[in-house]
Structure formats: structure tokens, C-alpha cells
Structure 1
Amino acid sequence: MNKLQEYLSAHEPNEIHPSDIAKILKQLDDSDFVASLRLVPKDLIGDVALALPERYFDNVVENFSVEELRDAVTALESDDQVDFMHELQGVDESVASKVFDTLNEIDKQEITKLQSYTQEEAGAYMQLEVFTANKDEIVHDVIKRFAELRKANKIENVQNLFIIGNDKKLLFTIGLDDLLIFDFDKTLIKNIEASGDSFEPKKAQDRENIKEVVRYFEEYDLYVMPIINAYGVLLGRITSDDIYDIINEHATEQMYNLAGVNDKAEEDEEIFKAGKKRASWLGVNLLTAIFVSITIGLFADTLESLVALAILMPIVASMGGNVGTQSLTVVVRQLALGAISQGDAMRTIKKEVLISLMNGLIFSFVVGVVAAVWFNINMLGVVMALSMMINFLMAGLFGAAIPLFLKRINIDPAIGSTVILSMVTDVVGFFSFLALATYILL
């Protein structure tokens, strides 16, 4: 009996979670993985496939028939159906087309509708399954209908009741705990009017940028948000679990971009594609490195006359690079979190520059003393200290200014920032150090 069999036999069907199955499957070798995949309960195949890293999706397609894949899609909620079909198309468009053709018309319409939105729009992430009630419905009837739908497994993860008018426009959002203290014999609207509460819903439009929706969730600690169209008609909902995924994806994307790699390419199993994306940034790095080398070459005579300079030179550039990276990372992250507004640019730059100067005073003194004692040349310590101060200042300035500038011109602040910053700190560090050495020591 393998690990998955042990897990399935030890748990009741309602206790089995797709994430637990995915965790077990990831620990298996290729042969055991394929065999265990067939043991996954049919109604959980879709959820398990989406819980696994993308590289495993090939195995899902290869080991299940079109009919089984169709059943897997049917068992998913609408937003997950779109994700599953997207992954399926990436693996085999022919199979994806066959699976789509075998779906019922409602699923086809819902998938097509959600696929009409771009990745930046809130509508692309919403579930179309929502629990709604008309404002004139009796509370008792609403609760009875909810119980029937829940028993039939047609709705899940419901925390709120969305109340609409005859025109399908969203009017109120009521928590299920509030619903339970209503007068069961009265209509919803009568209860709302009697309560004195507004029950004003926090909502977003389907064409709104998903980043704004994420911000709403963070600011108001939401579990769910209704999505409406431009006319106020309720279309669906976005739940907190989707928001967590979006936040995680965005954070991963930023980490990759700061390192000069492409998040989509890195998730792909094709080595050539990932290598090609990395090579493009390495090419840019090479050009900046050549520029830095040219800067050093301007002071070849100075380096030949005083070997100590070659020994100390990397310290200046390295420390400046680290200071710049600190500022860059903080600003990029704060921009992603929406913690820096348009009017905060100068405040942010000033803060980073002051922090850099404060640290610059400390480390310039320490390194200056070390250099002077090490090589028994007092003025070498002065050169080292002055150069460090200059580089710390420029590192803090550019570390904050580069991402703010990129954001201002609508470019992801994480993209290319590290390449530009490295060039600045290296050029400024080497140039200031060697130039000061030339004019002070020689």
C-alpha cells in the first residue's frame, strides 16, 4: 500500500483535501506518481491537478481520458474551470478542444464569459456561483433554499447573502450570522429597514484592475467581494483564497524580476525557453560590466602605481551595491503593497538617502581606519572613507529613485531595476575611489 492509499483509507471522503493529496503526490517518484494519480477520487481530480505545480499537468493529461477530464472540469467551480482549461490548452490544445466540446452548454458559456476578461481585470478571477435572494423574499424561504443548495453541494464557502432587486442589481450584502437573527416571517427588505443598518456592500466592477481588488481585501479584511458590471448587475464573487493566490503570484513575479528572470519561463519545463529568457538579462549585465571595466581602465596608471587600490577597490563597490539593494527592495515592495502614493516620492527618496548617509558615516570611518592602518597610508584611509560616503549616497538615491521612476512611466519597478542599480553603484564606486586616489595620493 503506497502513501496515497494509506491517506485515502485513513480518512472519510468528506475529510479528504486536494492539497493533502497533492502534497503526497509531489513526494513520489515518476512511476509511483502515475500509479497513484489513478487513485485520486474522480470528483477531486481537477482540484488536485490545480494544487500541483504546473510541470505535473502533463501527467494528468496523459493518464486520463477526455471523458474523465470533462468530469474533472465539471466538478470545479467556474473560476477553477477556467484555470484548468488554460493549463490544459498549454499542454495539448487538441485535447483541450475535445474536452470543451463535451462540456454542457452552461459550463461552456461560463468558461467563455470568464475567458473574455484580461488577466488584469477582476472579472477574470470571479466565481459565477453566488447565493442570491430577492429583496422581497421571505427569510424562512431563503434559509430553506440555502440549505437545499448546500446539501446538494451546488454552493460552498458561502459567508454572505447577496440581495438583489428585480433588475438583478446588487442592493445589499448580509452575513449569514445577521440573517439568522432576522424575523423569519418577514421579507428581507422589511428586516433590513427595521434593523437600521445599511448593509452597504463593498463591491468591485468586473473591468476593475485586480490589484485594486486585492487592496480592498487587505484594507477591509474581506472574505468575499461581489463583482458587478457597469450597470450594477451582480455577476459573481471573488473569495479570499483567490486573493491569496494572486498575492503569492505577484510576490513570486517580483522576486523573479528582481533577479532578472521571467516567472512564466521558469515555471516551464523547457530548458531552452528558460535559458533564453535568462540569457537576455545576462547580455544586458555583460554590457554594463564592460562599461564598468572601461571606467576602471581610465585609471590603469593609478592602479599600477599603487597595488593597495586594487585590493580595496571591490569593497567600495560591494558595500554600495548592498546599500542600493536594500533601498531598492524596500521601495519595490512598498510600491507593490500600495504603501507609497504619488505624492510620497520625495519623502521616500529623502528617507532612503538619509538612512544611507547615516550608515555611510559609520562604515566610511571604520573602513577608512582599516585601510590606513592596513597599508600604513593615512591619506588612503581618507580616500576610502570619502569614496564610501559618495557611493552610499548614490546607492540610496538611485535605489529609491529607479523603481519610483519606472512606476511613474508604467513599467513594473522590479523589471531591470537591479541591472541599472548595479551599474550605477559599480561605476560611481570605482570612479570616485580611483579619481580621488589619483588626485590625492599621486
Structure 2
Amino acid sequence: MTLAAPKAIAATQAVEAVMRDHRGRLLAALIARLRDFQLAEDALQDAAISAISHWGRAGLPDSPQGWLLRVALRKAIDRLRSATREGRKAQDQALLVGEEADEMETDIIPDDRLRLIFTCCHPALEEKSRIALTLRSLCGLTTPQVAAVFLDAEPTMGQRLSRAKAKIAAARIPFAVPGPEDLPDRLNSVLTTVYLIFTAGYAQGPQAGTDLCTEAIFLARLLVQLAPDQPEVEAALALLLLTHARSAARTGPDGQTLPPTRQDRSLWNQADLAEGGHLLDRAVARRQPGPFQIKAAIAALHAAEGTPDWPQITALYARLHDFEPTPVVALNHAVALAEAGQPGLALVQVRALAQDLDGYQPFHAVLADLSARTGALEEARAAYARAIALATSAADRAFLDGRLAALD
């Protein structure tokens, strides 16, 4: 091994560490100046490649992040100057970026990630694109990793990400935090995207070396840090922690999914429960009620000692339906109603949701359970069969197989 080899290995490891820990912040700083997602990504990648060579020869700079940002801006200028198709426009933009690169203090990098989150989660983008772009830009997942989350082919996901970036540019979606009048609606879009990332991870488990639950909690913590004193942000993080706290106990020794009431509470993460409860109390104390505070309160009741307070959970779902009048919320309200002692009324409400939720696996599982409890065994068998066919995890299938077998 030559003397240069250890330096090259050390430089590579240093670049990987900076990109792993600070990619989102660097990318946000670049997008803030370039107003171009793809150009920022390409320039940052170019800078990382250059860093491996340069740091291997000259050693690690005093500010690795500042070095990467400064070089990435110069790489962006080079790319703009070579964009002959846009002619003078590219030259003018390159000149502007060049002036900023000369004047900017790159050793102190402003944190523009909050603006990046709002851009990635803009309502003009469809839900799947918002999730994919957030995972790619803020969490630093590679395109193959994002594709694996959705079980898509890598080229398909690459095209989706490219279309999302192009739409942001074409629609002139601002790289900015919304004003006070637009913040509640836009913030709910951001939090919903983070929650969908978490629920996908909770249902699927770690994929392609990535734990989506961990990524969602990272994003929620980032939002609490960047947007303090927002009760819905605090409640969203509380919801994720209170739910994630039970993850180690979700599956029994036989491989079946277990509801909270049958889980081994000694396996629950007490630190997550304590932090989640503290965040929820802090959010509720601000007296600005919202849907994520209600969802977190329901999660807290499920985690409380003893039998869950089903009448209170039922009331909370009814209130949540005022904020989010969706079939899924109506389904959860019916489940709580049944547990509160009214399975017959709950079954009537669930049957009314059949058209809206025919492709939703939990709907058929609930329909099967309520049908069995009210004596409609043939309906229960058919619903269990449909729920098993739609189940995406072996643990859920094992649980439903057991319930179906118990009918006989």
C-alpha cells in the first residue's frame, strides 16, 4: 500500500461523514441560491467527488461543510456556463451565482432546511411525489432506496423525482416558509407527509437498509427545532414517539401482530413514552387544538396503564373527524365505538364505508371482526379472506389467519 492510499481512504471517509450528517443542510443552502433542485444536487455531488481528491492531497480543511458549499457553487457556475442551449440566460445566472460565491461567508452556513421542507411538501405536488422528494432531499436517501420504499423500479422513481423538480420550477413554487395566513394549511401538508413516511415504515419495517420510522422521527425533530412553539409540530413528534415506543412488542412469539392491550409492556421504550407525553402536554397547553394533537392524545390513551378509556377515544375520533372528515377516520371511530360497547352500531357505520375503502386492508379486518362479534359469520369469513389477501406483512397475515380459524 502506498503512502497516498491511507490519505485517500481517510478523505473518502471524511466526505462520506459530512454528506451523511450535513447533506440536507448543504443542499438546502445551494437550492436557496440556485433555485434549481437538480443543479444543486449535481453540483453538490461534483463537489463531493472533488473533495475526495483534494482532501486526500492537502488534508481536511478547517470547515469541511464550508469547503463543500463553496466548491459546489463554483461547480454550479461551471455547469451553467456549459449550458449552451440557454445562451445568455445561463451566462447571466452564472454571473449572479459567481458574485454570490465570492461574497458569501461559506464557513457559516445558514440553515435553509425549513424552506426546503415546505418546498418538497407543497400541495401542488401529488402525495407520492412529496414523500419521495422529501426522502431524497432531506433524508438523503438514494434514488434506488426511495424506489425500494414504493416497490418501484429505479428508472420509474428517477422519472418521478425529475418530474417533481421540474414542476417546482415550472410552477414557480417559492423556496420559502409560508406567511402566517398560509402556514396552518401548508404546515399540515408537511406534517402529513412526515406521518405518511412513518406509517409506511411502521407497516413495512426497514427496507433497503433504511428505517423509515427513524427518518420520519428525524424530520419531526428537525421541524420542532426549526419551527419552535408550533403545537401541531410538537404533537406530530409526540405521536410518532408514542407509537414507535411500542414497536418492539408489536409481534408475539408466534409471529402474529399483537394489539396494544396484548403486548408485553416491559418491551415498550419508556424514554420515547416519556418524551412523547411531555411534548403532548406542552402542545395542548398552547390551547391551539389541531388534528395531530388529537391523534397524539389517542396514542397516549392506548399507552396508558390498564384498559384503554374507549369512550374518551371514541369522543376524540369524533372530534378528529371534524378536522379530517375522511373514511379512514370514520373507520377508526367505528372501532372505538365497538370497543366502547356498541359493536352493532359500529358495524352499521363500517358497512357504509365499503365503497370508499374496498381496497383498504384494515377496513376488511375491522368488518370481519365486527361481523364475527355480532354473529354474521359468513360475512366475517369473506371479510377475513379479503383482509388476508390484502395484508402486506407476514405478521398481519398470521394474525388474521388465526382469527379466521377461530370462527370454526
Pairwise same-fold verdict (TM > 0.5): no
**Between Structure 1 and Structure 2, which shows a larger proportion of strand residues?**
1
Q: TM-score, normalised by structure 2?
A: 0.29
Higher relative contact order (CA 8 A, sep 6+): 1
